[in-house]
Amino acid sequence: DAKTTQPPSMDCAEGRAANLPCNHSTISGNEYVYWYRQIHSQGPQYIIHGLKNNETNEMASLIITEDRKSSTLILPHATLRDTAVYYCIVFGTNAGKSTFGDGTTLTVKP
Amino acid sequence: GAVVSQHPSWVICKSGTSVKIECRSLDFQATTMFWYRQFPKQSLMLMATSNEGSKATYEQGVEKDKFLINHASLTLSTLTVTSAHPEDSSFYICSASYRGSGANVLTFGAGSRLTVL
């Protein structure tokens, strides 16, 4: 499964959009892009996933480039509770073979 | 939505004892579950894949006799840390995949923090 690269940390002002990038240049055609976040001492929480089209749900939007080698998670109006480590992972049919990188620590500031 | 329940959320035990952690899929059947370990300020590390009705598959470097995994039903997998030692203290997390929006989506338990004295 493809590995991903994310910036180690980002800051965002409360109420502003948070844009978290992820590179997955070795992604295969049948692999989806998934985003999770982990708040301290909790299990990861699913946010959103996509294959090649942009996706939006009640939590966030996912923008995937046309070549699928990178994506951006957008939190449209960040709140203090969005402070967490955000993981971008990719996998196909074998979910357990997904590799968690170090993620991006997003800090939302008042 | 799919929910995975993990129990206990935290446990403290004496060195040399064994500890069992349960992982249940509450509203879906999970033929496969996954166990992870996470040290402070580090990412999740996959330990093993738990398969219903068969032996678990362990990642390289994970001692199968140390971390016993049983997946006796479609909704329950257990991880037993045998003869625990202080270096086994960690945050253990399980997950299961379900079919959602055309893809296999992983859903995670809340995690179990083990402290071995």
> What's the confidence (pLDDT) of residue B110?
97
**Cβ contacts from A onto B, under 8 A:** 63
What are the Cα distances from residue B17, in Å, to A96, B38, B86?
29, 21, 11
Which residues between 50 and 69 in chain B have a beta carbon less than 8 angstroms from any beta carbon of chain A? none
Q: Residue written as tokens 């992604």?
A: A27
Over the stretch B6-42, which tens digit does the pLDDT of each residue have?
A: 999 999 999 999 999 999 999 999 889 999 999 998 9
Whether residue B33 contacts residue B104, with contact meaning beta carbons closer than 8 Å, is answered with no
CB contact under 8 A, B104 and A103: no
Q: Has residue B1 got a pLDDT over 80?
A: no
- CA torsion through residues B92, B41, A32, A78, sign: positive
CB contact under 8 A, A43 and B93: yes
Select from A37, A49, A86, A94 the residue whose CB has the most chain B CBs within 10 Å, as the one to mutate to test that interface.
A49
CB contact under 8 A, A43 and B34: no
Whole-number Å distance between alpha carbons of B50 and A7: 32
Share of chain A above pLDDT 90, in %: 81
Whole-number Å distance between alpha carbons of B55 and A16: 48
Report the candidate in A76, A110, A109 with the shortest Cα–Cα distance to residue A10.
Answer: A109
CB contact under 8 A, B95 and A41: no
B35: closest CA of chain A, how far (Å): 9
Over the stretch A9-51, which tens digit does the pLDDT of each residue have?
A: 999 999 999 999 999 999 998 899 999 999 988 999 999 999 9
Share of chain B above pLDDT 90, in %: 79
Report the candidate in B10, B50, B6 with the shortest Cα–Cα distance to residue B24.
Answer: B6
Tokens of A9: 């940390």
A63: closest CA of chain B, how far (Å): 17
pLDDT band for position B46 (50/70/90)? very high
pLDDT band for position B53 (50/70/90)? confident
Contacts of A34 (CB under 8 A, 6+ apart): A46, A48, A49, A88, A89, A90, A91, A98, B103, B105, B106
Bigger pLDDT: B79 vs A99: B79
Backbone torsion region of residue A41, taken as left when φ is above 0, otherwise alpha when ψ lies between -120 and 50, otherwise beta: left
pLDDT band for position A95 (50/70/90)? confident
pLDDT band for position A99 (50/70/90)? confident
Considering only alpha carbons, which residue of chain A is nearest residue B93? A43
> What's the confidence (pLDDT) of residue A3?
87
Q: Has residue A4 got a pLDDT over 70?
A: yes
Q: Which of B36, B101, B110 sits opposite A42 (nearest CB)?
A: B110
- CA torsion through residues B64, A100, A52, B4, sign: positive
Q: Which of A36, A41, A49 sits opposite B103 (nearest CB)?
A: A49
pLDDT band for position A1 (50/70/90)? low
Whether residue A28 contacts residue A12, with contact meaning beta carbons closer than 8 Å, is answered with no
Q: What average pLDDT is seen over chain A?
A: 94
> What's the confidence (pLDDT) of residue A24?
95
> What's the confidence (pLDDT) of residue B72?
84
CB contact under 8 A, A41 and B109: no
